[in-house]
């Protein structure tokens, strides 16, 4: 598994901007880092941004952040 595959990446539609916005909270906690007219285009851009960030962190000798964001949480049914 590649290091960048450990991080949750997702794309959401923005009504305000009328584009799809890509997010990776573990690497970019401040919000969306790319956008595009289609979901697929935005996800491809997001994957490239995440890959570049991982490469840059490694090249500078910095430790990669631990992946902590999960797409779902367990629920307890009562």
Angle of CA points 21, 61, 51, to nearest 5° = 25
Whether 75 shows a pLDDT value over 80: the answer reads no
Whether 24 shows a pLDDT value over 90: the answer reads yes
Mean pLDDT, the chain, as a whole number? 92
Confidence of residue 49 (pLDDT cuts 50, 70, 90): very high
pTM for the model: 0.86
CA distances from 32 to 2, 40, 49 (A): 22, 15, 11
């Amino acid at each position: 598994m590649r290091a960048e595959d450990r991080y949750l990446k997702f794309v959401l539609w923005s009504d305000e901007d009328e584009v799809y916005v890509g997010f990776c909270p573990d690497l970019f906690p401040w919000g969306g880092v790319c956008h595009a007219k289609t979901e697929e285009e935005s996800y491809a851009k997001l994957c490239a941004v995440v890959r570049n960030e991982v490469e840059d962190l490694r090249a500078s000798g910095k430790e990669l952040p631990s992946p902590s964001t999960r797409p779902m949480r367990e629920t307890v049914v009562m």
